[in-house]
Amino acid sequence: MSTISTPTGYLTGTWDIDPVHSEVSFQVRHLVVSKVRGRFDKFEGAIVTADDPGQSSVQVTIDAASLNTGQPDRDAHVRSADFLDTDAFPQITFTSTGIRSDGDDYVVAGDLSIHGVTKPVSLKVEANGFTPDPYGGTRTGFSATTDINRQDFGVTFNGPIPGTDGVMLSDKIVINLEIEAILRQPAAAE
């Protein structure tokens, strides 16, 4: 058994991420003076909560072309070979490799694949609870965040800001996740 703390109301099982009540978003600094935010509109995944919380796991697949910053021309550029190259690399994936306690929160380590490159990342995770839903099911929720360097994933396009030493985009990308998941029901016996 690991020494990881158990969240209040903890339940074991396999949980399917509910994309209607979840969000996968990001932000990047633009022209040094502001932050541009965006999200991915299509994703799926599962969380397995094990008897030993330290043995739990997460697997997520994101449709890279579902990128949405609210500006169609920018979205098309970010989908292009200059950035995510979604024709060649249609999916972004995350597969956990370990979980540990961090005070009242958790750190979920895993392998993140973007643009054909896989790198280890650590997500700071808050367990938001476990609860019955109004439809006879059970739900859980998690908030998570991490920072990545886009250059580490081969996303290197940038441009200078005229008259300065600055560049149009920061290398740092902040990723935020708000995840609600539904407990998978056992298959009915035949």
3-state secondary structure of 161: coil
Q: How confident is the model at residue 32 (pLDDT cuts 50, 70, 90)?
A: low
Give yes or no for residue 34 having a pLDDT over 90.
Answer: no
So what's the pLDDT on residue 134?
92
Domain ranges (residues) in the chain: 13-181
Residue 80, C-beta contacts closer than 8 angstroms, at least 6 positions apart: none
What does the alpha-carbon distance between residue 175 and residue 46 come to, in Å, rounded to a whole number? 18
**Residues of the chain above pLDDT 90, percent:** 71
Lowest mean pLDDT among 4-8, 112-116, 156-160: 156-160
| pTM tops 0.85 | yes
Average pLDDT value for residue range 37-54:
95
Q: How far is CA 81 from CA 78, 111, 116, in A?
A: 8, 23, 12
pLDDT digits (tens, 9 = 90+) for 80-99: 998 899 999 999 999 999 99
Q: Was domain 13-181 assigned CATH 3.30.70.20?
A: no
So what's the pLDDT on residue 160?
56
So what's the pLDDT on residue 1?
42
pLDDT digits (tens, 9 = 90+) for 166-181: 556 778 899 999 999 9
Closest CA to 41 of 15, 72, 62, 17: 62
Q: Is the separation of the CB atoms in 118 and 16 below 8 Å? A: no
